[in-house]
Structure 1
């Protein structure tokens, strides 16, 4: 039985090592993606886009996007709206909602990995501790009082598994919360852009059409 417990402990620590490497890889990849939406250039671009949309300046918006080739959620969204506007596509509001949903899926990509690791690595570490305690008690029963030193070392090693699980889980949970908050900020800004576009182009366009179709009545 002790051989199986030893193998189980080794597997637990290998799983912890793999989980930590995976978490670091996902963190770096997501950090690169989110940095495109959160820097001084993107914030300045977002303010300029909002102002141009508010003034219904489509040509100015296109020139601004051409001068800022950086691709992020905001530029993709505006490019999408401009293309649909050129096509005179009906149902622009619904299309913008769909585009925001697509951006959400893109920003959420790989975050479930962090969520899964953060929720489960403590339990994996606890499993390693349980295996270590089993090993310690087995040694105590086999060696008796003369094996107390061996037993204490086994328990110490067992507790390392729980410590490893927490060491992986805590940073992962913090990273997942960080990216989730940033995602909400990006989606909130996209919602604001959507409302600005709706107010400046869709609503005002309908108002202009209704005004032009109203006959002049002379008394």
Structure 2
């Protein structure tokens, strides 16, 4: 098109006029449409820089690209682990392992439900309800506050400081509750009987602060 334009103009046109006509021709819509968009140019620039970086890494790092990818994966795993131990993910994970779900009942109601479940051989349910009876009884005695989202381990640790005589059985009871309720490990009758014994011992135990007074 430029060639046609140049052959059509008079041969005696001066240089400045010719340059102006050529600029006008090149600014036409046909030429502008043929130019790559700024987005395409930006993408090509990023791609070029990325390829240069990968080539540099491949020659400079032992193991090349594979080592870099492996390092990135390890870093991602570390970030996820850290967030699971602290922050919103930890809060969510902890909330999913709480002792109580929904409205709390009286400790006697949990105890009755546990005995009924044990009588029909459902020791999974019996273990869950008996441990809840233990924790709820401690709350009713104000040895534990009614904190929502408390896990079995937290309940055992907090109560164990006030009731040192049953601190270890409380930790064992918390592990049993988690194993059965969250770990999917089948409960046994001896396991349930150990929680029944823990329940009785906790109800008889006096907190150290009161004993000292």
- What's the TM-score bracket when you normalise by the shorter of the two chains? under 0.3
Q: TM-score, normalised by structure 1?
A: 0.22
Higher-helix-fraction structure: 1
TM (norm. structure 2) is: 0.23
Higher-RCO chain (CA-CA 8 Å, sequence separation at least 6): 1
Rg larger for: 2
